[in-house]
Amino acid sequence: MIQVHDLVKRYGKLVAIDHLSLRIRENEIYGLLGPNGSGKTTLINCMLALLSFDNGEIRIDEKDMSPTAYDLKQKIGIVPQEVAFFDELTVRENIDYFCGLYVRDKASRKSLVDDAISFTGLSEFVNFRPRKLSGGLKRRLNIACGIAHKPSILFLDEPTVAVDPQSRNHILQGVRALAKNGVTVVYTTHYMEEAEQICDRVGIIDKGQLLAEGTPAELKGMINTGDTIRIQLIADKPEALQEIRKIDGVHSLDVDADTLTVRTMPGAYVLDRLLRYLHDREIGYLSVASEKPSLNTVFLEITGRELRD
């Protein structure tokens, strides 16, 4: 469906996309997961033929994507990272304006616009000007403007940034519903929970390179740590912690002031032995938390950095 082959994009000296190749299949939700500045937006802008690039090729439906590939553009919908609509037009007028550039026929357009409005839950706000909408509602309008013409390929660039949990759930459910109806979705985010929650496959991108790719389960299977156990100690850095490494099933150990982070081997059950160890040495603790492996762990393992700064 979408093929990116050996893409290179430089901004002056900065290499924003570094020999990146990927393939997005029909009717999947493909997540591009990466921290700020990793090149997600740049990649999308290249795919949309908005940006020129230094090397590589981009094909959609086996055709070269270009600024004049109007037949391809007709099938594409976009939800840019920054909200994009006119402040002087109402919610309904904005959706109708953009939809009208894809769909000429007035009658069918009206029902498309109605669909988009109810799909994004904006029915109460159709006559509002954007400046009267909350941040979450603006995001929904941004989506409505991108999907009204019923595209078969949808690019969403961080559609949930700065959105309250309720609107975020609304948006995530909507994206899933679209995919169920046959839309291919390219979804960028730096929230790993989102990627895990809705994406069929995820590409982890950092510094313009695709570091790993697969279903969330596959990605988590690629790493060699299990749970992460965090323990908040009463005293700073007590002695004798180093021996924790010797406990069966412990993969690695990290002590930062009063927080002890222990990663386990995959499948190993360590918590019981760990707590007994602390108890035996009379090391007091305030809280214990255990996390299942997540895409954050994957990212950490691959890059040595946390996903969020």
Partner 1 sequence: MFLHVVKYRLLAIIRDRQGMFWMLLFPILLTSMMSVVMMNLINEDMSISPARAAIVKNAAWNSSAPLQDVIATLNADEESLFVFSPVETAAEAEQMLASGDVHGYFIPDAENGLTLHVIRTGFPQTILSEFMSSYTSQARLISDMFRTDPLKALALAADGIQASRLTFEPIDPAQNVSNPWGAMFFTLIAMMALYNALQSATESTAVDPTVYSVGIRQRTMPQHHISIVLSSFAAVAVMGLLNMAVYLLYGQFLLGLDFGLTAYPLYAAAIAISGVFAGIAMGFLISALVPGKRNRHSAVIATSMVMVFLAGMMVLQMRQIVRENAPFLKYLNPADMITDAYYGLLYYGDTARAARNIVMLLVFTAVCLLLTYTRIRRTRYEHL
Per CB under 6 A, residues contacting ligand ATP are 11, 14, 16, 34, 36-42, 81, 190
The distance of closest approach from Cβ of residue 5 to Mg ion in the complex, given in angstroms and rounded to an integer, is 22
Q: Cα separation of 76 and 95, whole Å?
A: 15
For residue 188, the one-letter residue type is T
Contact call for residue 41 and Mg ion (CB under 5 A)? yes
14 binding partner (options Mg ion, ligand ATP, partner 1, none; Cβ < 5 to 8 Å by kind)? ligand ATP
CA 175 to chain CA centroid, nearest Å: 12
First vs last Cα of the chain: how many Å apart? 33
SS3 33: strand
Q: Cα separation of 89 and 68, whole Å?
A: 28
Q: Smaller CB distance to partner 1: residue 10 or 251?
A: 10
The distance of closest approach from Cβ of residue 303 to ligand ATP in the complex, given in angstroms and rounded to an integer, is 14
The distance of closest approach from Cβ of residue 308 to ligand ATP in the complex, given in angstroms and rounded to an integer, is 11
Q: Smaller CB distance to partner 1: residue 20 or 212?
A: 20
Q: Cα separation of 218 and 131, whole Å?
A: 43
Stretch that binds partner 1, among 64-72, 211-219, 232-240, 296-304 (CB under 8 A): 64-72
Strands of the sheet with 201-206, listed across from one edge: 76-79, 153-157, 184-189, 29-33, 201-206, 209-214
Q: Smaller CB distance to partner 1: residue 83 or 233?
A: 83
Task: Please report where in the chains the tokens 């990649």 appear, as a residue.
Answer: 43
Q: Return all residues near 98 (Cβ < 8 A) that are at least 6 apart.
A: 85, 145, 146, 148, 149
Q: Which of 21, 36, 55, 74 is the binder for partner 1 (CB under 8 A)?
A: 74
* Contacting positions for partner 1 (CB under 8 A): 11, 42, 45, 48-52, 67-68, 70-71, 73-74, 76, 78, 80-86, 88-89, 93, 96-98, 100-102, 104, 145-146
